[in-house]
Structure 1
Amino acid sequence: MKKLNFLTLFLAAIFLLPACQNGQQKDQQSSEKQYISNAPVPGWSKDAVIYEVNIRQYTEEGTFNAFSGHLPRLKELGVDILWLMPVHPIGEKNRKGTLGSYYSIKDYKAINPEFGTLEDFKSLVDKVHEMDMHLVLDWVANHTAWDHPWITEHPEWYTKNDAGEIIPPEPDWSDVADLNYDNQQLREAMIEAMKFWVREANIDGYRCDVAGSVPVDFWETARGELEQIKPVWMLAEDEARKELLEYAFNANYGWEFHQIMNAVAKGEKNAIDITEYFQKTDTLYPYGAYPMQFTSNHDENSWNGTAFDRLGDAVKTMAALTFTVEGIPLIYSGQEAGLNKSLEFFEKDRIEWKESEMTPFYQTLTALKANNPALWNGAAGGEMKILKTNAPETLFAFSRKKENNRVVAVFNFSDSSESVFIEEGPKGNFIELFSGKETTLPVKGVLLQPWDFRIYTQH
């Protein structure tokens, strides 16, 4: 009986083995598939650089029409996607400061009269498109102002406490009320509002505020409906929920990398921490999706200090890093003019536009990005390979390759000089970006001054 059982089991195992293998292959394919981003990718985003626009602080007038006068300058700067902070009317109830927060939305289908009219906005979008740039709107789906009509017309669309009172998303966010996405009617109304701006104003996508606090399936539905109107590009203000990148969003925030850069500039972390970050994220991001890399944005500038405050002598170093590592780089309003003050968030506080060495510096970086497919975004760019150096705590080096294009970058993340030796890596004749000199690689004995860097390109 034991022999019969053994024989039976043996034969059964033989017949079942192919089925098990097929099942394992399907499971493996399924596992691999979940790390591929299925979000649509508009062709114009492949080599794009983002520029965040703070309309209120951009000009003395603080209007769309006044801002449009800067478009030729921004085209010359080399940016591609203009991200406008929210343009909607701002709530007055529980308002913070004199002018309130852009992110306290009173009407999703209207324009803040301080900025101009709907026709002014449409005209701005048209001018942006005429210059072969694109415009995305900041969208606040997580909460509304306390005087949004939905508060009285649809109180069931909001999150309530045990006493039945509508509450803010966070105690400190006292000027806004939290929306409840368990309600299907809310979802439909929000998607219709998002479709309005794509359909009526021809915008090119959205940067979505606190996207991780809104259900993933909502964003996936919204993206699908927007795509029926035109191809769009989507950025999530989130880093933790990578599932947002599977179908809904093309990019998210590189918050952790931003914080690492700040810490490296202060001597609290070093090049090893940067190496470990990219080794980790290489396995976390769905293929084709990518983080937005930045040294500043509206939150960082207003609440945590300017890039100069946080990065000191490493300002240019870290900016160059954001343009060469995997991800899409961001320039915040005024950075190209050496913005060296924290802009008021709830008050008028105009950016001072002046001549600055940062302008040609950023122009060089945007041209580097555009002219080197190895540095393009997502699947359009080349994989980043970290290179071994003679001083792993202070020196960070990597290469990226796409077809015949190769880029090699070497950074000194310390306040002392370092001689760089890279034993292995790309070989041949390269052009160094800022000097224009032809150089033979691999790097051997190149002296880098404190916070110095070299970027080598080959076509």
Structure 2
Amino acid sequence: MAKTTNVALRSQLIYSIFPRNYTEQGGFKAIQADLPRIKALGTDIIWLMPIYPVGEKNRKGALGSPYAIKDYRGINPELGTRADFEALTQAIHEQGMRVILDIVYNHTSPDSLLVQQHPDWFFKKPNGQFGNRVADWSDIIDLDYANHELWDYQIETLKQWAQFVDGFRCDVAPLVPLEFWLAARQALAAVKPNLIWLAESNDPQFLKQVRDQGFEDLSDSELYQAFDMVYDYDVIDDLHDTAAGKRSLAEFARILMKQDVTFPRNYVKMRFLENHDVPRAASYLTDPQTLRNWLAFNLFEKGSGLIYAGQEFGQAHLPSLFDADPVALTGPLDLSDLIQRVATLKHQELLTQGAYTVTAINDQVMQVQYRLGDQLIVGLFALRPFTGTVACELTDGKYLNQLTDTMVTVKNHQVLLTNAPIILQK
């Protein structure tokens, strides 16, 4: 991990927005109009998915993927003007939030400005054609970082955007050389200190596939040398298997605890149940109460938390990246209060610096606790339906459930759990 990373980032709630599909209106002005609600959710950081012009060659769907970028320094006119973008970032700051911008430095669209101006900056297959090192993404072609003029261009691009934003979410960061990320971070720190660097990591299966083909793919531990936060993809398959009943809670707890000793002491994982690339939580956690319990657990874990726009309303449909598919800011559930309450709790020093333990009480209930000096906070989450008494380390007495403002009694180090999450603090 970057040695300068502040563990206070573990307190941050990130709200991810796909600008083109944000409500029926879409675009920067639609986002700006909704900022008070987003702030009230407990959001600290807004992550804007790519805002750049989309390539036309080999375009997927009617509108194309925002990750098939034609011009790293341009604005997609579908979203508004540059002035609209600048007004949005200013409004985000006025609301007391920060904003990070999605950057996509592994590849461009096949008709990008860079491929027209600098074809020598791109990876070429043995037959001399542009393409991908791994996988088969027909709407993009990979860059080649062996050319250091590309480094200069990319770093200068970051400096231009850093005038308006507070950091960067870096798409498929493991496929870009670590040396580039280290150089970029150092160069940007001289221009704007304390930028946030979030890396999209790769899951273990994809990482091994890439390495077995002879290409570089950075592990989480390598990414932490340059980045402040890293995706939770190293355990996403385990999370899905546990949610589906294919893995025990005890085994999942063991995996989470292994993270805590594998990575540097000041590591920050970005925890999530969903994002734009994986299924909506409501699509695989179909029972509303189970969904609430998993969401509370996930946000209470050590690390920053992610909400993908629409998740707070129990949306089960994952918006298309390639076509007009507006996110409705309504839905079958309203999880806003739950999200806001956990987000508020996470801002305590106890939850950013305290000793963190995840334990399976049984095969239905997971416990997460933080201890710092004589402070103790305990969360109990029925990840599978459960009503009954469970053990609790708190001394006997009455405690306020921080999620509902109701009183909970601990007696003989036992507490009654009624299939709803409770968080108790000493």
State the TM-score, normalized to the length of structure 2.
Answer: 0.89
Residue among 360, 371, 381 paired with 1:401: 371
Q: What letter corresponds to residue 340 of structure 2 in structure 1?
A: Q
User: Match of 2:380?
Assistant: 410
| SS of residue matched to 1:73 | helix
User: Match of 2:214?
Assistant: none
Per mean C-alpha deviation after superposition, the further-off stretch among 356-365 and 323-332 is: 356-365
Checking the alignment, whether the CA contact within 8 Å between 1:161 and 1:167 is kept in structure 2 is yes
> What is the RMSD computed on CA atoms of the aligned residues?
2.2
1:252, distance to aligned residue in structure 2 (A): 0.6
Checking the alignment, whether the CA contact within 8 Å between 1:37 and 1:286 is kept in structure 2 is no
Residue among 398, 401, 412 paired with 1:432: 401
Equivalences for residues 195-274 of structure 1 within 5 A: 195-199=159-163, 202-230=164-192, 231-238=194-201, 241-274=219-252
User: Match of 2:281?
Assistant: 307
CA distance in 2: counterparts of 1:403 and 1:247, whole angstroms: 30
Residue among 108, 113, 138 paired with 2:102: 138
1:369, distance to aligned residue in structure 2 (A): 2.0
1:154, distance to aligned residue in structure 2 (A): 1.5
CA distance in 2: counterparts of 1:441 and 1:111, whole angstroms: 56
1:229, distance to aligned residue in structure 2 (A): 1.6
**Is 1:322 the equivalent of 2:298?**
yes
User: Match of 1:383?
Assistant: 355
- Between Structure 1 and Structure 2, the one with more helix by share is 1
1:426, distance to aligned residue in structure 2 (A): 4.2
User: Match of 1:446?
Assistant: 415
Q: After superposition, what is the alpha-carbon deviation per residue over 1:208-245, rounded to whole angstroms, capped at 9, x for unaligned?
A: 00000111111011011111122200110015613444
| SS of residue matched to 2:285 | helix
| SS of residue matched to 2:21 | helix
User: Match of 2:210?
Assistant: none
User: Match of 1:105?
Assistant: 69
CA distance in 1: counterparts of 2:364 and 2:95, whole angstroms: 42
User: Match of 1:23?
Assistant: none
Checking the alignment, whether the CA contact within 8 Å between 1:63 and 1:114 is kept in structure 2 is yes
User: Match of 1:25?
Assistant: none
1:171, distance to aligned residue in structure 2 (A): 4.2
Q: Which runs of 5+ in 1 are unaligned?
A: 1-35
Checking the alignment, whether the CA contact within 8 Å between 2:367 and 2:378 is kept in structure 1 is yes
Distance change in 2, residues 1:42/1:253 (3 Å): closer
CA distance in 2: counterparts of 1:310 and 1:223, whole angstroms: 37
Distance change in 2, residues 1:104/1:190 (3 Å): same
Checking the alignment, whether the CA contact within 8 Å between 1:42 and 1:233 is kept in structure 2 is no
1:55, distance to aligned residue in structure 2 (A): 0.8
User: Match of 2:318?
Assistant: 342
User: Match of 2:338?
Assistant: 361
Distance change in 2, residues 1:124/1:435 (3 Å): closer
1:428, distance to aligned residue in structure 2 (A): 6.1
**Higher Rg of the two aligned structures:** 1
Equivalences for residues 27-176 of structure 1 within 5 A: 37-41=2-6, 45=9, 47-176=11-140
1:403, distance to aligned residue in structure 2 (A): 5.1
1:180, distance to aligned residue in structure 2 (A): 0.8
Checking the alignment, whether the CA contact within 8 Å between 1:39 and 1:246 is kept in structure 2 is no
Checking the alignment, whether the CA contact within 8 Å between 1:258 and 1:293 is kept in structure 2 is no
Checking the alignment, whether the CA contact within 8 Å between 1:265 and 1:312 is kept in structure 2 is no
Checking the alignment, whether the CA contact within 8 Å between 1:427 and 1:440 is kept in structure 2 is no
Checking the alignment, whether the CA contact within 8 Å between 1:135 and 1:204 is kept in structure 2 is yes
Q: What letter corresponds to residue 339 of structure 1 in structure 2?
A: Q
CA distance in 2: counterparts of 1:317 and 1:65, whole angstroms: 34
In the comparison of the two structures, how many residue pairs are matched? Answer: 406
Per mean C-alpha deviation after superposition, the further-off stretch among 84-93 and 235-244 is: 235-244
Distance change in 2, residues 1:394/1:443 (3 Å): farther
Checking the alignment, whether the CA contact within 8 Å between 1:39 and 1:248 is kept in structure 2 is no
Distance change in 2, residues 1:243/1:177 (3 Å): same
Distance change in 2, residues 1:395/1:183 (3 Å): same
CA distance in 2: counterparts of 1:98 and 1:388, whole angstroms: 47
User: Match of 2:274?
Assistant: 296
Distance change in 2, residues 1:332/1:442 (3 Å): farther
CA distance in 2: counterparts of 1:71 and 1:185, whole angstroms: 39
Checking the alignment, whether the CA contact within 8 Å between 1:421 and 1:445 is kept in structure 2 is yes
Q: After superposition, what is the alpha-carbon deviation per residue over 1:125-161, rounded to whole angstroms, capped at 9, x for unaligned?
A: 1111111100000110000111112213222211111
Q: After superposition, what is the alpha-carbon deviation per residue over 1:36-59, rounded to whole angstroms, capped at 9, x for unaligned?
A: 64144396x452110001111112
CA distance in 2: counterparts of 1:86 and 1:309, whole angstroms: 25
CA distance in 2: counterparts of 1:243 and 1:445, whole angstroms: 39
